[in-house]
A = this chain, B = another copy of it.
């Protein structure tokens, strides 16, 4: 939102700072609701308080800028999850903390999340999944599930396959909260717990678990 204020020139030798400022400015625009497809190079430059051609001092093209913006936001999501997971010890709590952090990030930074998982981009269309930044992130989910199985807290099963169900479910509840705004969604925490419980069998104490024990009650 820091539009229209004259930005002082960087001291010599630190021109690279503008690079970060541009990525940050793009992030601000995304948070403010601008779509990745409608995000313009000129708009980013304006937001950074800089002339449009200055962008070319650090990025070869608009696409190159957006690519770096995406990368920065991916890193930011990764950090949010890591931070949340680090606060707890046992594997079940860690799985929940990480999952919730993922959804919270998506809900709280919709523009950011959108460019990560809701926008197809030329690069990722070509690049293979294996070895990608995304694979590394997914692997921590797989590992989390595996730990819970190894600890005997979760139902036995293929951790990879289970993670293949959890990720989309988390993505779904976060993503639809943005699109279906009028929908009476259950609290996010409850829903995350319910998803993890449904796919891993870990008893997080959701309502459905309670109902399972009192199965014969009539609706």
Q: Which of B150, B156, B176, B181 contacts A171 (CB 8 A)?
A: B176
Q: Give A216 to B152 CA distance when docked, in angstroms.
A: 10
Q: In the complex, what residues of B have CB within 8 A of residue A38's CB? A: 37
Tell me if A172 and B167 are in contact (CB < 8 A). Answer: yes
Tell me if A179 and B120 are in contact (CB < 8 A). Answer: yes
From known contacts A149-B219, A211-B156, infer whether A127 and B171 are also in contact, taking CB-CB under 8 Å: no
A168 at the interface (CB under 8 A from B): yes
| Beta-carbon contacts under 8 Å, A103-117 to B | 117
| Beta-carbon contacts under 8 Å, A172-188 to B | 172-173, 175-176, 178-186
Tell me if A164 and B179 are in contact (CB < 8 A). Answer: no
Q: Which of B125, B198, B218 contacts A165 (CB 8 A)?
A: B198
Min C-beta distance of A118 to chain B, whole Å: 6
Tell me if A179 and B119 are in contact (CB < 8 A). Answer: yes
A157 at the interface (CB under 8 A from B): yes
Q: In the complex, what residues of B have CB within 8 A of residue A156's CB? A: 211, 215-219
Min C-beta distance of A150 to chain B, whole Å: 8
